[in-house]
């Protein structure tokens, strides 16, 4: 967005067909400097509309990325998952049918407005191939899409920041949901460990898949099931299995990822 907004900080004073017929290029340059704008290197009657299209497309892209966040949170808030809730005021009314239930209405609003931004990008692209030095057809369209797109992305950023700042997080629910498969989600880790002990990949896969399926279908502990499998037990003792079925293993590279994220922000 920064790059795209910088790219439209540009002006022109090159006359009605871009030939500097009444003013010299030096005048244009001096005026633009006073206005703290760059001057368009080669203009027609107007600044070519590819600049504006690049901006409106960048806004549509930013909006789609905000929607990516919004979609994730909408999933996490659904009744069956309920790992987070977007912020709500005390006394805010819940869903009309279920007063105790709250819908992720802010994230849904972000999703809806992201669509408007994408539609506007389409309009901006169509504004590029103007006729001759320019026709004025882009003008009516830009009066709609330029204020709408710039205002909406600003509003959506405020909405998204507010959601993150005030989000309610339910770690217990996260833990419960992790337990839904009764450990089957550790199957990849166990598979790799078995192969490393020398078991053939085919045999290891069959062992792991059977027990993972059984754990999930019958609601029994994947780890306990594996402990009773002779072929597994002789290769991995209870301690090793415990370690493989521990969710903390998945977090060990978290610091490295956060470090990269911080670098991006710099």
Report 145-164 residues binding a second copy (CB under 8 A).
145, 148
Q: How far is the CB of 8 from a second copy (least distance, A)?
A: 13
Among 10, 31, 167, 216, binds a second copy (CB under 8 A): 216
Among 6, 98, 169, 238, binds a second copy (CB under 8 A): 98
Contacts of range 230-234, beta carbons closer than 8 Å, 24 or more positions apart:
231/199, 231/203, 231/207, 232/190, 232/194, 232/207
Stretch of 84-92, 121-129, 161-169, 226-234 lying at the interface with a second copy (CB under 8 A): 121-129
Q: Which of 33, 44, 26 is nearest to 9 (CA)?
A: 33
Q: Which two tokens stand for residue 58?
A: 């960048």
Of residues 2 through 41, those in contact with a second copy by CB under 8 A are 15-22, 24-25, 41
Distances from the Cα of 243 to the Cα of 26, 48, 198, 249, angstroms? 73, 61, 19, 8
Q: How far is the CB of 126 from a second copy (least distance, A)?
A: 4
Of residues 61 through 80, those in contact with a second copy by CB under 8 A are 61, 64-65, 67-68, 70-72, 74-75, 78-80
Among 1, 30, 35, 135, binds a second copy (CB under 8 A): 135
Q: How far is the CB of 109 from a second copy (least distance, A)?
A: 4
Nearer to a second copy, 91 or 198 (CB): 91
Contacts of range 77-83, beta carbons closer than 8 Å, 24 or more positions apart:
77/102, 77/103, 77/104, 77/107, 81/173, 81/177, 82/170, 82/173, 83/169, 83/170, 83/173, 83/174, 83/177
Among 30, 112, 161, 237, binds a second copy (CB under 8 A): 112
Locus of tokens 């027990």: 211
Q: How far is the CB of 228 from a second copy (least distance, A)?
A: 18
149 CB burial (10 A radius; 0-12, 13-18, 19+): buried
Q: How far is CA 197 from the centre of its chain?
A: 40
Q: How far is the CB of 157 from a second copy (least distance, A)?
A: 15
Give, in degrees to the nearest 5, the angle at Cα 89 between 83 and 92.
95
Site map 165..204 versus a second copy, x via CB under 8 A: ------------x--xx--xx-xxx-xx------------
Nearer to a second copy, 35 or 251 (CB): 251
Of residues 243 through 262, those in contact with a second copy by CB under 8 A are 249-254, 256-257, 260-261
């Amino acid at each position: 967005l920064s790059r795209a907004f910088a790219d439209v900080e540009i002006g022109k004073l090159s006359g009605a067909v871009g030939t500097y017929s009444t003013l010299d290029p030096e005048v244009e340059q001096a005026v633009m400097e006073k206005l703290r704008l760059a001057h368009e290197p080669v203009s027609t009657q107007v600044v070519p509309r590819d600049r504006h299209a690049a901006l409106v497309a960048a806004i549509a892209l930013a909006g789609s990325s905000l929607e990516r966040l919004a979609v994730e949170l909408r999933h996490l808030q659904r009744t069956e998952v309920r790992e987070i809730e977007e912020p709500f005021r005390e006394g805010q009314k819940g869903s009309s049918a279920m007063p105790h239930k709250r819908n992720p209405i802010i994230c849904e609003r972000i999703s809806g407005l992201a669509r408007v931004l994408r539609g506007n990008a389409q309009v901006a692209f169509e504004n590029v191939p103007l006729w001759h030095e320019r026709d004025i057809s882009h003008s009516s369209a830009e009066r709609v899409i330029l204020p709408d797109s710039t205002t909406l992305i600003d509003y959506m950023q405020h909405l998204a920041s507010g959601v993150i700042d005030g989000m309610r997080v339910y770690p217990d629910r996260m833990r419960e949901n992790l337990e839904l498969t009764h450990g089957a989600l550790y199957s990849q880790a166990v598979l790799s460990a078995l192969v490393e002990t020398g078991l053939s990949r085919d045999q290891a896969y069959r062992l792991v898949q059977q027990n993972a399926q059984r754990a999930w279908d019958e609601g029994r502990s994947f780890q306990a099931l594996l402990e009773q499998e002779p072929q597994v037990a002789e290769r991995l003792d209870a301690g090793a299995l415990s370690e493989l079925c521990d969710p903390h293993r998945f977090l060990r590279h978290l610091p490295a990822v956060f470090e990269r994220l911080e670098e991006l922000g710099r």
